[in-house]
Amino acid sequence: MSIVTSEPVPRKGIMDIAAYVPGKEHAPGVAKVYKLSSNETPLGPSPAAIEAFKQAAEKLEIYPDGQAVALREAIATAYGLNAANIMCGNGSDELLGLLCHVYLGDGDEAIITEHGFLVYKIQIKGAGATPVEVKEKDCTVDVDAILAAVTDKTKLVFIANPGNPTGTYVPVSEIRRLHAGLPKNVILVLDAAYAEYVRKNDYEAGLELVSSNKNVVMCRTFSKVYGLAALRVGWMYAPAGILDALNRVRGPFNMNSGAIAAGAAAVRDQAFVDKAVEYNLLWQDKLTHAFTALGLKVTPSVTNFLLVHFPDVDGKRAPEADEFLTSRGYILRAVKGYGFPNALRMTIGPEEANRGVIEALGEFMTR
């Protein structure tokens, strides 16, 4: 006999999920605010992407291309890929969610790492499966820990490479070792949201692994170096079999025309991307040296943000630093939810903001 309730009830487990909380945006009472909490590029989008978006606005009465052909072909050309193996989505978040929706169910497990992107856990639980969290080593994904956690229930393994909020990366040799140790029915999900920023000879985003295997997918985003966070543009490179399954449940018009047009224009403007990467490398080095000179520990980063660790001393911890910086208009990201209660993540921002944070932290540490 079914039990009748006085109001609709979500499926079991849904209300146990901790909702994702984005970085704060405001500093009440402060006239000039620099938002350095969401890893947005200080250079904005390519002018070509802006112009393409404006042109798309002239045909808002027409449904978008449900296959995002123009965007998929532009991505394929830029990276030397087969457009048939590319799926685009409303940010990479949608694509990660589709993987969980299609490949997970009650009784299944998916492996995540200690400091991995919080959305993984949300989507896994939302699919009725169990997230299995493994420890990282020195703020870096530990391949041996992941392999040790694999069971007959494992269906997905999520790796953010580079990691967020750590900024660290796993060399391609370790990613290959991880894949070699996984059962053939387990999908290795490589989330390479920050891949464009990495300038390391031993790093690969995962394109070759996807091309040569049936159980590897790679997700990317246009929200970071391409500066299209407001339009929610993500893409996945995956084997045909996986894409066939995902396309059966993907929304028929999951991307809008402006996002498709701007994304295609942005990926064609690689000169603009190179400019953004060079700026990032310059300030990545300057900020790391400046913060270290102040007595702060900075996790070595290959991304457009830095994980800054504070002393375990009264008045000098991360929450106090966050309050102090916010009062001066510099909004960083508290990362307690990622396992770092005494650290802040700082997006590399405009030059005046970067210099301002250095000065403000200097005042904070010596007061």
- Please write the tens of the pLDDT for every residue from 131-153: 999 999 999 999 999 999 999 99
Is 3 domain-assigned?
no
Q: Report whether pLDDT(257) > 60.
A: yes
Q: Report whether pLDDT(71) > 90.
A: yes
Question: What is the pLDDT at residue 13?
Answer: 80
Q: Which of 140, 191, 145 is nearest to 167 (CA)?
A: 140
| Contact of 231 with 263, CB cutoff 8 Å | yes
Q: Which of 184, 120, 111 is nearest to 143 (CA)?
A: 111
User: What value does the mean pLDDT take over residues 109-138?
Assistant: 95
Mean pLDDT, all residues of the chain: 94
Question: What is the pLDDT at residue 20?
Answer: 72
* pLDDT tens track for 291-348: 999 999 999 999 999 999 999 999 999 999 999 999 999 999 999 988 999 999 999 9
Please report, rounded to a whole number, the percentage of residues in the chain having pLDDT higher than 90: 90
Question: What is the pLDDT at residue 23?
Answer: 66
Question: What is the pLDDT at residue 205?
Answer: 96
Is 1 domain-assigned?
no
Of 211, 237, 269, the position where a domain reaches its end is 269
Question: Are 105 and 195 within one domain?
Answer: yes
Q: Which of 19, 225, 204 is nearest to 122 (CA)?
A: 19
Q: Report whether pLDDT(22) > 90.
A: no
Q: Which strands sit side by side in the sheet containing 340-347, from one edge to the other?
A: 297-299, 305-309, 340-347, 333-335
Is 8 domain-assigned?
no
- Is residue 6 very low, low, confident or very high in pLDDT (cuts 50, 70, 90)? confident
Indicate which CATH number applies to the domain containing 213. Answer: 3.40.640.10
**How many whole angstroms separate alpha carbon 218 and alpha carbon 207?**
7
Here the tokens at position 349 are 């921002």
Question: Are 116 and 254 within one domain?
Answer: yes
Residue 198 burial (CB < 10 Å; 0-12/13-18/19+)? middle
Q: Which residues contact 298 (CB under 8 A, 6 or more apart)?
A: 287, 288, 291, 292, 306, 307, 308, 309
Of 217, 236, 269, the position where a domain reaches its end is 269
**More confident position, 337 or 16:** 337
Indicate which CATH number applies to the domain containing 361. Answer: 3.90.1150.10
Is 361 domain-assigned?
yes
Question: What is the pLDDT at residue 12?
Answer: 81
**How many whole angstroms separate alpha carbon 186 and alpha carbon 319?**
40
Is 5 domain-assigned?
no
Question: Are 228 and 86 within one domain?
Answer: yes
Question: Are 156 and 167 within one domain?
Answer: yes
Question: Are 90 and 223 within one domain?
Answer: yes
**More confident position, 21 or 36:** 36
User: What value does the mean pLDDT take over residues 280-285?
Assistant: 97
Question: Are 110 and 167 within one domain?
Answer: yes
Is 6 domain-assigned?
no
Question: Are 211 and 68 within one domain?
Answer: yes
Question: Are 190 and 327 within one domain?
Answer: no
What DSSP character marks residue 39? -
Question: Are 112 and 125 within one domain?
Answer: yes
Is 284 domain-assigned?
yes
Is 75 domain-assigned?
yes
Of 269, 296, 319, the position where a domain reaches its end is 269
Question: Are 226 and 300 within one domain?
Answer: no
Here the tokens at position 314 are 């009264």
Question: Are 80 and 103 within one domain?
Answer: yes
**More confident position, 246 or 1:** 246
Question: What is the pLDDT at residue 151?
Answer: 98
How many structural domains does the chain have? 2
Domain that holds residue 325: 14-44+271-366
* pLDDT tens track for 159-207: 999 999 999 999 999 999 999 999 999 999 999 999 999 999 999 999 9
Question: Are 198 and 347 within one domain?
Answer: no
